Amino acid sequence: MKNFRILLIPFILTISACGWFKQPPEIGKVLSEHFKNKIYKDFDTVAYDSVFVKTLDSLNNAFVNPKTIKAFYASHHSQPKLVTKFFVDGGLDSLSQYLQNSTIHGFNPKVFKTQEIRNLLEQLSANTFKKVEESYPVIARLELLSANAYLNYTNYLKFGVVNPRNLFSRYYIKVKRPDSVGMIKLLDSEHILDTLRAVQPKSAQYRALQTAYLNASSEDEKRILSLNMERYRWKLPETGENYVQVNIPDFKLTWFDKQDTLISMKVCVGGKREAGYEDKLKAFAKSGNLDDKPKNHETPLLFSKINSIQANPIWNIPVSIAQSEIYWMARKDPYYLSNSNIKVYYKDKLIGEPDTINWNKYSRDKLPFKFKQGSGGGNALGKFKFIFDNGSSIYLHDTNNKNGFNLANRAISHGCVRIEKPLEFAELLVKDPYTYDKLRAEVDLPPVDSTHNKWYKKRMAAKADTTKSFQLKPAWFGPKKPVPLIITYLTAWSQNDKIEYRPDIYGLDEKLWAAMKKFR
């Protein structure tokens, strides 16, 4: 008997602490007082718990976050927390109203089971149950559907309905996603209406797109606006108020400082992947033949910080370009490499006369050489390269071919971003007249400040001295401070109180639209 009492003490402490098994429980008190109905004083927690578990099992597969919901109610002894706190004060009515109005965000209220929640609220409000146990299925279902809808609605608005990193192979921007800690905190909220208000997107861009969406008559226009509203819901890294943005569909770089634009210029971005890319990639995986390898030069989406400028850059030619282009050009013209200022390395040693290489001895898929294009006017990177950390060997750079900026479709590069005004961009980055004039001198431009003429004259004299061998080399410069850079993909945005639209050059809208199908 003594041992039994010892075992019983923890059990008594547990049920006393949780308060759920008190007679009547909190839900019984709340409903009894609200409806002036005595049946709720007989609320049986054990009987309700049985109904709740069965209801949870029946709905579990339809939930987006079933583990989190299960964990929350397991830790609260299956108590109907939301109904207890928010039925009488109108919080659940507010939730159903927000769900019904989710069309303003491009959602279909059906995805939240809005009508069923409203029906359950009406059933409970009707106060027509003859016995308290008749209310258990209604309360349990209302609790769980409300919890699921509340989590989904807030998560979709705070983080977006799609994780772009799971959808797009070249999306390298880290995005925050919902976690169980945050969701349990939401379910434990004391002020559901405050949360619903706070979660509404507040950015000027989102609101402008939302207004246009509500006013649009064309389904195609609504589709584009909806897709870009979703992009603005993704929780991206903080850029701060001073940052550089490259928008791929717009073929444009813009440097923002708060509400002002410091500079804007055309860019050329990576070319679109080959038609039928996925199928061709599978064929290449089977054959291993480079002739079967499809081309994909699409510029990746990323976030980083510009940390250095290289004047008179050297181009370390990627293996893919060496195999697909340099190899064939060298076979066709033995003097192509020397005429293009391209140096060839074998086991990291420079080959003195690359024009003598017998390319017939080497297959392009097993080239033992590395290729580097030296500094100078013919360099594909032009006179400047702007470097930022990323895993794709992508950078912003000048170009020796300015004609590309005259094209309407400027998706023509191998993946890096060619910029139209590199010198002006460099000036904004260094933010120092002394450093800027040093940079100008490296590319044979006279200084802006005439007191710095000495550098320029010294350099030009060295280049003109035929008794010495002048070698053009890269020179490094640091920006005043690293500048955030985001390479993004927007096909609709607000500019000067007008919505701008751009073509979906990479087909990412189409892919995103398919992924969002179940939310429409």
- With b meaning 16 or more CB within 10 Å and e meaning fewer, what string describes 80-107? bbbbbbbbeeebbbebbebbeebeebbb
With beta carbons less than 8 A apart as the criterion, state whether 343 and 354 touch.
yes
Domain around 187: 26-199
Measured in degrees and rounded to the nearest 5, phi and psi for residue 61 equal -65, -20
Structural domains in the chain (count): 1
pLDDT at 344 over 50: yes
- Residue from 77, 268, 416, 452 carrying the catalytic annotation: 416
397 is catalytic: yes
- Residue from 76, 105, 397, 414 carrying the catalytic annotation: 397
CA distance 371 to 345: 6
At a CB cut-off of 8 Å and minimum separation 6, what does 508 contact?
Answer: 168, 489
Identify the H or E element spanning 256: strand 252-257
Measured in degrees and rounded to the nearest 5, phi and psi for residue 195 equal -65, -45
Residue 64, Cβ density class (10 Å: 0-12 exposed, 13-18 middle, ≥19 buried): middle
With beta carbons less than 8 A apart as the criterion, state whether 434 and 452 touch.
yes
Question: Residue 258 carries which side chain, given as an amino acid letter?
Answer: K
CA distance 299 to 170: 8
Helices (H), 341-452: 422-430, 433-442
With beta carbons less than 8 A apart as the criterion, state whether 55 and 145 touch.
no
67-71, 96-100, 366-370: range with lowest mean pLDDT: 366-370
What is the distance between the terminal CA atoms of the chain, rounded to a whole angstrom? 63
Q: Which residue has the higher pLDDT, 472 or 438?
A: 438
At a CB cut-off of 8 Å and minimum separation 6, what does 93 contact?
Answer: 121
Average pLDDT rounded to a whole number, residues 319-326? 91
Residue 134 counted as domain residue: yes
pLDDT at 263: 97
Residue at token pair 């060619």: 418
Under DSSP, the state recorded for 324 is I
With beta carbons less than 8 A apart as the criterion, state whether 384 and 313 touch.
yes
Residue 176 counted as domain residue: yes
Residue 180 counted as domain residue: yes
Question: Residue 318 carries which side chain, given as an amino acid letter?
Answer: P
Give the tens place of pLDDT for each residue, 214-248: 999 999 999 999 999 999 999 999 999 999 999 99
- Interhelix angle 180-187/136-159, nearest 10 degrees: 130
Residue 34 counted as domain residue: yes
Percent of the chain scoring above 70 in pLDDT: 95
* Torsional sign, CA 372, 373, 376, 380: negative
Residue 107 counted as domain residue: yes
> Is this prediction's pTM over 0.85?
yes
Residue 98 counted as domain residue: yes
Residue 150 counted as domain residue: yes
Give the tens place of pLDDT for each residue, 119-134: 999 999 999 999 999 9
pLDDT at 450 over 50: yes
pLDDT at 384 over 60: yes
Instruction: Transcribe 106-158 into DSSP letters.
Output: T--GGGGTHHHHHHHHHHHHHT--SSGGGGHHHHHHHHHHHHHHHHHHHHHHH
268 is catalytic: no
Give the tens place of pLDDT for each residue, 192-202: 999 999 999 99
pLDDT at 336 over 90: yes
CA distance 271 to 251: 12
CB atoms within 10 A of CB 54: 13
Average pLDDT rounded to a whole number, residues 456-480? 83
Residue 47 counted as domain residue: yes
pLDDT at 22 over 80: no
pLDDT at 17: 44
